[in-house]
Amino acid sequence: MKLNTKHFGEIDIDEEGILEFEEGIPGFESAKKYVLLGTEDEESPFRWLQSVDKPELAFAVIDPFAIKDDYNVEISDEIINKLGIEKAEEMLVYSIVVVPEDMTKMSMNLKAPVIINACNKKGAQVVLDTDVYGVRHYILDELNRKRNNI
């Protein structure tokens, strides 16, 4: 299937790879279908969550565990059941990234990760029931802390 996107131009997507976000993503509820795109750098923790419904919409996402080793995601049984997750290995976790003009202020949302069942392709952005994480966790600050602790 061809998709003419704002950020990547015309791309071929595998229809079997389409992710279904039943409730959309908060603020973008009408966009329910997405694909997860990689980057040129296979080692990069960054990906793109590209909307199929709204080709102009794409979210930069990151594997939060690649940045914050002690990140702990506790998902309610309701969400686990809703996404049909049977084993932890089925679950992909991403954080939406905000990339401002000042790159040193690039942040990821640890409070509301994107959870995807890799087997059945269902996804949701979930607000965690904890005050430990915020919506703006500065990536470069975390990488500097990590580097200084090594």
The tokens for 147 are 């580097």
Confidence of residue 150 (pLDDT cuts 50, 70, 90): low
What is the mean pLDDT of the segment spanning 27-32? 96
Q: What is the 3-state secondary structure (H, E, C) of 103-147?
A: HHHCEECCCCCEEEECCCCEEEECCCCCCCCCCCEEHHHHHHHHH
Tell whether the model's pLDDT for residue 49 goes beyond 90.
yes
pTM of the model: 0.92
- Tens-digit pLDDT profile for residues 104-131: 999 999 999 999 999 999 999 999 999 9
Tell whether the model's pLDDT for residue 16 goes beyond 70.
yes
Q: Find out whether 144 and 137 touch, Cβ atoms under 8 Å.
A: no
Residue boundaries of the structural domains of the chain: 2-149
Tell whether the model's pLDDT for residue 91 goes beyond 80.
yes
Q: Please tell me which residue, 16 or 39, carries the higher pLDDT value.
A: 16
Give CA–CA dist 60/54, Å, rounded: 15
- State residue 35's pLDDT score: 96
Residue 17 DSSP class:
G
Domain 2-149 = CATH 3.40.1370.10: no
What is the mean pLDDT of the segment spanning 47-65? 96
- Tens-digit pLDDT profile for residues 57-86: 999 999 999 999 999 999 999 999 999 999
Q: What residues have CB less than 8 Å from 73, skipping those under 6 apart?
A: 93, 113, 115, 128
1-5, 36-40, 53-57, 136-140: the lowest-pLDDT one: 36-40
